[in-house]
Amino acid sequence: MQFKHLLSLCFFALTCFFVQPVLAQNKVVTGKVTDAKDGSTLPGVSVVVKGSTTGTNTDANGQFKLSVPENGATLVFSFIGYTPQELPATGGATLNVVLKPSSTTLSEVVVVSVGYGSQRKKDVTGAVGSISSKDFNQGAIVNPLSQIQGKVAGVNITQQGGNPNSEDAGISIRGQTSITGNQSPLFVIDGVATTGNSQFQNLSPADIESYDVLKDASATSIYGSRGANGVILVTTKKGRPGRAQIEYTGFVGVSNQAKYYELLNAQEYSQAIRQIDGVNPATYEKGGNVDWQRAIARTALTHNNNIALSGGANGFNYRGSVNYSLQEGTIINNGRKQLGFRFNADQKALDDKLVLSLNLSNTTVYRDLLTDGAPLNRYIFNAPPTYPINNPDGSYNTFTDFDLANPLLHLLTTTSTATSYQTLGNFSVNYNLLPSLRIGGTGVLIHDNTLTHYFQPSFPGEGNLNTARQQSYNNNSYQSNAHIDYNESFGKHTVSATAVYEYNDFYTENFTAQGYNYLVPANLDNVLGGGDASRNQISSGKDNYKIISYLARLNYNYDNRYYLTASIRRDGSDKFGADHQYGTFPSVSFAYRFKKDLLNNVEWVDDIKIRAGYGVVGNSSALTPYQNLTLYGAGQKYFDGSNSSFPYPSSYTYIQNANRDLQWEERKGRNIGIDFSLFNNRLSGDINYYNDKTEKMLYTYGVPTPPFFVNTIFANVGSLTNKGLEVALTGQVIKDKNFNWTVNGQITFNKTKITSLSGTYNGFNLASDQIITASASGRGLSSSQLTYIKPGYPIDVFYLQHFEGIDAQGNTILSEDKRYIDPNPKFNYGIGNTFNYNNWSFNFFLRGVYGQKIFNNPRLIFTTLSRLPGNNVTKEALTSGNKDVRISDRFLENASYLRLDNASLGYTFKTIKGLSNLRVYLAGNNIFVITKYKGLDPEFAPNSHYVDSGTSNSTGTIQSYPKSRAFTLGANVTFK
């Protein structure tokens, strides 16, 4: 009987459970929440029935579904960083809710790219620096790197010199990560991971919307081995629904060399050589008065033009742009022209469940290269000022000696050009199987080809044969991925997960043909077979490698306060031996926004978040394809006793030892950070401390023969550390209706140290006490070693004698012992100020380095009186009395600097018929620099090893190309 009553009670309870919704007369409300500013969807918005605890959060697409009472329900939509909004709950129809941003920054719903997706800024758990177009550097910006130089803490960009064709700017994120591998970060343009920096640097700056920089290992691990040096995500401008609009962005400007060496003029030179015993002045006084630096310089023209058409309707958004730029070098016969096309489009279908995206760009770059087979800039500084440029009949004056020739003749009669063709294309498909589940795939094609032309005539008196050469380089890749994304909210819980499969196929090929002694020089390099057949040279090469990866990432958010991100990636590369092709690299990071819990009553704190992360990434950039294999090559030549069989046949021999135990370099990174917004967003910023270690560093070590075939082997031996602190702040000093003043700045402290260069391989000890990275250059200085990589010391440490003075005979006095000196900067910094008054705007940006030291090799050479009479010297040489050349810390100079990098004054017109926007501006770049460094400029990339060489490298490109100072007039126009 009791059992019967129990069954009845259970039946009654079940009946109440199912009948309750009917009795309550609930209804289901659905909707979508978007940003009032740009129409983007807002995930994680709190949707609550007013006066109750019933509620939910919007999903990753900004959508929500909620069961509410039938009558009188009001929904409250709230989101940190936005003004709350209340709306009546309407069943049946979809609610379209638009939230307006409030005035906080950390709480602001800024969406940042984090690789394979995006997150709200406040949800990010890793170290990510973001910069939008309104904060870009202004002025003569042709290379997009200049837009963010000095703007992002932890990102060091040094553009050495003013060569418009230079694409090897030093870019590092949080220090040097390898001693042999590539140091540049990975550039990802709209989801396409590029295969070379030029593909990014040839992008039109006017097409870029924003940058997101992934700095710590927990953030970069999403890109695995390709992101070992950090990742810079580039988002280009997209079309938006609405009326089609045309935008024009352009400027025109002039630039000049910013500084010259103070060399002797003709009068000073004549007076100096007359003091030298045994010199006949008539031998060197030729009637000229030439400053050879200025003889090859010019006022250079630069202009950049970008026209874009964008719009969208019925689920189709598009934007296309055409860019043309001309950038003359401040040295004659040197410049760059670029023509680029870019198009992107998105098409939604099947009730917006299917999204098709296309991105396509094609760029052609024409370069007049400043290359000459001779060390051209030594010709510039060696030529006496008394030698005229031209003979009386107008022909070029020819004079020759050791490192001495007419530089103008070389510049104007040598042809050296390059044409690059770059195509980047990707097509992606994404489909929402469910509101919270999406699948997709992407295919990518990158084609990068460069063809160079070179012809150098035979110069009278120099004894050289004319030379012609053509070279072709192809750098192509095919990439694809398949991914699945899950996003769901359960009350206060939000979960998102991503799984990805990647396939990357890279191949490069090159071809060079060169000849000498052409009978018809007018053909230049167009008839390569027309020279001395016995001197023809042909070479070519090709390599190929693949990277296959698997990735899983999980993001968890509880109540918009507690965050967890965890990922694991498995990368495989056939650069390694079969047993070590794959590496597994995990990462995890946490964040806690504690304003609500701990500082809820502290009114001056708007929002605050602490973060901590750890991650491991692999790096294979130090390896070239086939470096794990035994390789054979040409060896000793065989002689057949006849003089008529040149060239003699060669033998084949071992040229590389196999190492099938080669493994991934591993960078293990730890990061602790804090993000904050204070005083109603009058002060905001972030602080990061990191401690990274690179292990299993790849380098070439000596081994005995036998048992090895050759006396070196490439192996995983050694480690280094990077420790640093980054601080970025933004302050709204004045915030008024008509006048605003905003200050933003960053400072970065980084210390890189080699911790080991020793280990074992198959029972053999591998070790290097020190690795030479740079030597002095000049007469008698080719073997004078300067910088080293040495365990226990920073990268590029100098080892020098101390300068103690000059004796009465003009000889240098040096200390007996040597000492190690660290040339690396103690910190880098940037400070920007922006003023807005009604329609006027003025901004300027200061950038600097403190504690850096540079070895001024040109000063060492040019201040030596022994160069006279055959070469020129600086005015300092006349007062120094120094007659010999000695390497010492005398020429290791303090190269700290503060540069007014750019400044601009602009005016935005209010209302002009036919235009929705018109802004004109005047800007200057490299306006001044404050430094004690006595060279042309103190800005040197770390890959120069802090040595101002003052000479040319192996390709003949002048490293010490002087920096320029530029002034531009520009306009931004949007047509209705």
Q: What is the pLDDT of residue 81?
A: 61
Q: Summarize pLDDT for 888-947 with one digit per residue, the tens.
A: 999 999 999 999 999 999 999 987 888 888 999 999 999 999 999 999 999 876 667 888
Q: Summarize pLDDT for 486-536 with one digit per residue, the tens.
A: 999 888 999 999 999 999 999 999 999 999 999 999 999 999 999 999 999
Identity of the residue numbered 445: L
Grouping H, G, I as helix, E, B as strand and the rest as coil, residue 2 is helix
* Contact in structure between 387 and 353 (CB atoms under 8 Å): no
Higher pLDDT residue, 17 or 682? 682
* Contact in structure between 675 and 106 (CB atoms under 8 Å): yes
Residues 6+ apart with CB under 8 A from 124: 112, 114, 219, 591, 611
* Contact in structure between 138 and 151 (CB atoms under 8 Å): no
Q: Which residues of 132-159 are buried (b: 16+ CB within 10 A; e: fewer)?
A: eeebbbbbbbbbbbbbbbbbbbbbbbbb
How far the first Cα of the chain sits from its last, in Å, is 84
Q: Which string of DSSP letters, residue by residue, matches 843-902?
A: EEEEEEEES-EEEEHHHHHHT-GGGTTTS--BHHHHHH---S---SGGGEEE--EEEEEE
Distance (Å, whole) CA 117 – CA 43: 13
Q: What is the pLDDT of residue 24?
A: 43
pLDDT confidence of 19, banded at 50, 70, 90?
very low
Q: Which residues of 585-620 are buried (b: 16+ CB within 10 A; e: fewer)?
A: bbbbbbbebebeeeeeeeeebbbbbebebbbbbbbb
Residue 319 token pair: 């934007």
Grouping H, G, I as helix, E, B as strand and the rest as coil, residue 457 is coil
Q: Summarize pLDDT for 126-170 with one digit per residue, the tens.
A: 888 888 888 898 888 888 988 999 999 989 888 767 888 876 567
- Total count of residues recorded for the chain: 976
pLDDT at 364 over 90: yes
Residues facing 431 on adjacent strands? 354, 439
Distance (Å, whole) CA 173 – CA 219: 13
- What are the φ/ψ torsions at residue 430 (nearest 5 degrees)? -130, 135
Q: pTM of the prediction?
A: 0.84
Distance (Å, whole) CA 172 – CA 874: 35
Distance (Å, whole) CA 641 – CA 551: 63
* Contact in structure between 287 and 409 (CB atoms under 8 Å): no
Q: Which of 125-129, 295-299, 328-332, 869-873 has the lowest mean pLDDT?
A: 125-129
Q: What is the pLDDT of residue 953?
A: 35
Q: What is the pLDDT of residue 782?
A: 60
Distance (Å, whole) CA 617 – CA 215: 12
Q: Which of 12-26, 373-387, 896-910, 921-935 has the lowest mean pLDDT?
A: 12-26
Q: What is the pLDDT of residue 645?
A: 45
Distance (Å, whole) CA 607 – CA 600: 10
pLDDT at 824 over 90: yes
pLDDT at 644 over 80: no
Q: Which of 165-174, 245-254, 844-853, 924-933 has the lowest mean pLDDT?
A: 165-174
Mean pLDDT of the region 468-491: 93
Residue corresponding to tokens 């009791």: 2
Q: What sign for the dihedral angle of Cα 791, 797, 801, 802? A: negative
Identity of the residue numbered 421: Y
Identity of the residue numbered 674: I
Q: Summarize pLDDT for 389-411 with one digit per residue, the tens.
A: 999 999 999 988 877 889 899 88
Environment class of 468 (CB within 10 Å of its CB; exposed 0-12, middle 13-18, buried 19+): buried
* Contact in structure between 890 and 856 (CB atoms under 8 Å): no
DSSP conformational letter for 778: S
* Contact in structure between 929 and 937 (CB atoms under 8 Å): yes
pLDDT at 599 over 50: yes
Distance (Å, whole) CA 798 – CA 541: 37
pLDDT at 196 over 90: no
DSSP conformational letter for 60: T
Q: What is the pLDDT of residue 92?
A: 63
Grouping H, G, I as helix, E, B as strand and the rest as coil, residue 698 is strand
Query: What value does the mean pLDDT of the chain take?
Result: 86
| Selection from 795, 750, 606, 752 nearest residue 684 by Cα | 606
pLDDT confidence of 103, banded at 50, 70, 90?
very low
Distance (Å, whole) CA 366 – CA 418: 6
Mean pLDDT of the region 570-592: 91
- What are the φ/ψ torsions at residue 871 (nearest 5 degrees)? -130, 170
**C-alpha angle with apex 383: 379 to 385, nearest 5 degrees?**
145
Which H or E run includes 595? helix 595-598
* Contact in structure between 449 and 420 (CB atoms under 8 Å): yes
Environment class of 637 (CB within 10 Å of its CB; exposed 0-12, middle 13-18, buried 19+): exposed
* Contact in structure between 433 and 486 (CB atoms under 8 Å): no
- What are the φ/ψ torsions at residue 800 (nearest 5 degrees)? -135, 155
Higher pLDDT residue, 590 or 577? 590
Residues 6+ apart with CB under 8 A from 49: 55, 66, 68, 69, 73, 74, 75, 76, 89
Environment class of 878 (CB within 10 Å of its CB; exposed 0-12, middle 13-18, buried 19+): middle
Report the percentage of the chain scoring pLDDT > 70.
90
Q: What is the pLDDT of residue 843?
A: 95
Mean pLDDT of the region 74-85: 78
Mean pLDDT of the region 176-181: 87
Q: Which of 88-92, 203-207, 580-584, 769-773 has the lowest mean pLDDT?
A: 88-92
pLDDT at 112 over 70: no
Q: Which of 708-717, 755-764, 778-787, 928-937 has the lowest mean pLDDT?
A: 778-787
* HSE, side-chain direction, 13 A CA sphere, residue 865: 20
